[in-house]
């Protein structure tokens, strides 16, 4: 079973820049979204789109288009602040605002959540309690391997799992991993999707009982990204924007960018995908592993 997911935030982040949104950037995001929606509709594939609350308030027309095309809307926080950079109260406020904005925009209950930058970790398991309090039934925030930011290597599972925390339960769809003996790595989204060869990604997905892709629109842009300014880096990553940190990010975000969209289109032509809501009906949750945090 292959699940297709996208995180939708770029338009709203661009609008939040000092000086406002650059029209050429917005046009580029629009063009990539058009291209994606076209191929998904031709292949009759639906995706789960994790949108920020700000996308619903500032760009509701994009969410309406996604819904009209049969895609599932889920929550990707309100303003894209990472959960592990917020206090419990701040995350509660952010999640409440996001779910409220998304539900108002599409007129349907929001059931799914993905934290920005996979920022539910061993340090903030109370995040699950906040999600349950806001009516969230499933989460797709766990990156069960080492990662620069976020990541939950001790989670131990890369298949659908029932997470229990202080009397609540959330269905977890973690990022699937590619296992090379003891070494494990993500492969099905972001920079990893650009890094690994197409045949390896496709073969791993087809062999697995469970796979889930994850893309931001930015992951599909073919122009190399520029070195971020110190100010932009610090406002996004919430850590010192030293030259070394900025160069590391520059190299990572430019690995294989050129063919990410081509690769994704090829994958969409050759494989079937479902949304998380569709996957949810196929999973036998009674047999899923249970994790108590």
Residues near Zn ion (CB under 5 A): 7, 9, 116
* 128 CA to centre of own chain: 17
Distance CA 93, CA 99 (A): 10
Backbone angles phi, psi at 183, to 5 degrees: -85, 130
Q: How far is the CB of 20 from Zn ion (least distance, A)?
A: 21
Q: Where are the alpha helices (DSSP H) in the chain?
A: 10-15, 23-42, 53-58, 60-68, 88-106, 127-133, 190-195, 198-207, 230-237, 243-254, 260-270, 276-282
Nearer to Zn ion, 148 or 272 (CB): 148
Distance CA 125, CA 191 (A): 26
Q: How far is the CB of 172 from Zn ion (least distance, A)?
A: 18
Q: How far is the CB of 166 from Zn ion (least distance, A)?
A: 27
Q: How far is the CB of 115 from Zn ion (least distance, A)?
A: 9
Q: How far is the CB of 7 from Zn ion (least distance, A)?
A: 4
Backbone angles phi, psi at 170, to 5 degrees: -130, 140
- How many CA atoms lie within 13 Å of 240's alpha carbon, on the beta-carbon side? 3
Residue nearest to Zn ion (CB): 7
Nearer to Zn ion, 116 or 174 (CB): 116
Nearer to Zn ion, 75 or 130 (CB): 75
Q: At what angle do helices 243-254 and 230-237 cross, to 10 degrees?
A: 80
Nearer to Zn ion, 50 or 138 (CB): 50
Nearer to Zn ion, 9 or 172 (CB): 9
Nearer to Zn ion, 134 or 218 (CB): 218
Q: How far is the CB of 13 from Zn ion (least distance, A)?
A: 9
């Amino acid at each position: 079973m292959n699940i297709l997911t996208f995180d939708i935030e770029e338009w709203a982040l661009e609008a939040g820049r000092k000086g406002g949104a650059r029209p050429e950037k917005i046009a580029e995001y629009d063009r990539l979204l058009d291209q994606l929606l076209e191929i998904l509709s031709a292949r009759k594939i639906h995706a789960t789109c994790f949108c920020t609350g700000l996308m619903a308030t500032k760009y509701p027309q994009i969410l309406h288009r996604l819904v009209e095309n049969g895609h599932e809307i889920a929550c990707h926080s309100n303003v894209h602040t990472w959960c592990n950079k917020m206090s419990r109260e701040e995350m509660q406020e952010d999640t409440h605002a996001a779910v409220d904005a998304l539900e108002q925009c599409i007129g349907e209950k929001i059931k799914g959540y993905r934290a920005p930058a996979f920022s539910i970790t061993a340090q903030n398991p109370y995040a699950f309690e906040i999600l349950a309090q806001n009516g969230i039934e499933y989460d797709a925030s766990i990156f069960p391997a080492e990662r620069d930011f976020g990541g939950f290597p001790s989670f131990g599972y890369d298949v659908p799992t029932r997470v229990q925390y202080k009397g609540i339960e959330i269905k977890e769809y973690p990022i699937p991993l590619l296992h090379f003996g003891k070494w494990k790595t993500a492969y099905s989204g972001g920079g990893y999707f650009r890094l690994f060869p197409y045949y390896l990604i496709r073969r791993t997905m087809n062999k697995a009982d469970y796979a889930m892709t994850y893309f931001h629109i930015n992951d599909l842009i073919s122009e190399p990204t520029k070195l971020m300014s110190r100010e932009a880096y610090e406002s996004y990553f919430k850590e010192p924007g030293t030259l070394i940190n900025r160069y590391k990010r520059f190299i990572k975000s430019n690995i294989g960018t050129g063919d990410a969209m081509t690769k994704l289109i090829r994958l969409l032509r050759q494989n079937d995908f479902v949304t998380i809501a569709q996957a949810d009906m196929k999973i036998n949750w009674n047999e899923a592993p249970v994790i108590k945090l």
